[in-house]
A = this chain, B = another copy of it.
Amino acid sequence: MRIGEGVEWGLHCCLTLAWLGEQPVATAKFATLFELPPAYLKKRLQALVRAGILTSTPGAGGGFLLARAPERITLMDVVSALEGPDELFRCTEIRQNGVEPSPEFALPCGVATAMRRAELAWRRELAAQTVADLVAAAPPGAAARMRQRYARLVT
């Protein structure tokens, strides 16, 4: 059980876009900045577009932009976009196997409820943190350094 590497990629791309402001960034530029495989990265960025987190403009000078303010993009948004909406814990109701149907099965399974309580704590924490918080937590000068790196990349 592990979150795919795409989440790390997606969050760093969102943070980079927040730092660069109105500058659209193409997949190839992100791939160079972070030394990532362009084809795989593109799929992740397209998933963020489908989820309404990024916008994409084609052609020369095009690229990806944040679709909304960094304050309005949560880590939960990015994780859901890249990992899908499925729960971490899937209850297959094995408690009902091998027994007669019973009214007690109308109540949620205690095991599933307990596991979901933990999952909810995880989701709540992811939903409470935004790309703007990542910007705020970055070391001093990180945004300026990224803008310099990006400027060197395009010239």
Interface residues, chain A, CB within 8 Å of chain B?
1-5, 7-9, 11-12, 15, 32-36, 75, 83-84, 86-92, 94-95, 97-99, 104, 107, 110-115, 117-126, 129, 133-134, 137-139, 142, 149
Contact = CB atoms under 8 A, between A and B. Distances in A.
B104 A142 contact: yes
B111 A15 contact: yes
Contacts of A112: 8
Contacts of A117: 125, 129
A145 to B, nearest CB: 8
Contact of A8 (B8, B89, B121, B133): B89
28 contacts: A1-B84, A2-B86, A2-B87, A2-B89, A3-B89, A7-B89, A8-B92, A12-B94, A12-B95, A12-B111, A15-B111, A33-B97, A34-B95, A34-B97, A75-B114, A98-B149, A99-B149, A104-B139, A104-B142, A111-B134, A114-B129, A114-B133, A117-B129, A118-B123, A118-B125, A121-B121, A121-B124, A122-B122
A112 B137 CA distance: 11
Contacts of A111: 8, 11-12, 15, 134
Nearest to A86: B2
